[in-house]
Structure 1
Amino acid sequence: MNWTELEIFKGIDLNDSFVLGCSQSEGRLSFDLEASIWPESKFYTEPKKNEYTCYKKAFLSFVGVDSIQGLKPIEAVASSTDPDG
């Protein structure tokens, strides 16, 4: 199943969201996000001036994680800044 088909992600565009950080604890992998939110979402509010759409802080957690492969530690990933700040 594609994540875009899940009701919980209705109006959320993860492709346009930003990862602010991540953490791993026993059985859990979590991402801190600045999520791109669209009018179809119950979390949508009017975008701030000069924003493409509504962006809000959010987190995405995966529970029951047994192993993780290919995810670099956050310290090893080059950061970037949104052109708008």
Structure 2
Amino acid sequence: MEGELALLGKYIGAGLATIGLGGAGIGVGHIAGNFLAGALRNPSAAPSQMANLFVGIAFAEALGIFSFLVALLLMFAV
């Protein structure tokens, strides 16, 4: 019984840790949407802001990858 309860806790914790993946998806969509809105307002400034777009997307995705890593560690750690 105690082993099953610990296993249940591991799976619930892993599921809660994956909420960060949804947050990363929302963050990337928000960054790309705001970039597109700004690029449509001022098309001549869009190429100079492309590097900032990729840095923002990389940071948002990194947080999602970290939450995925935490979920895997919770599921498969001893």
Do both share a fold (TM > 0.5)? Answer: no
More helix by share: 2
Whose strand proportion is higher, 1 or 2?
Answer: 1
* TM-score, normalised by the number of residues in structure 1: 0.19
Larger radius of gyration: 2
Higher relative contact order (CA 8 A, sep 6+): 2
Q: TM-score, normalised by structure 2?
A: 0.20
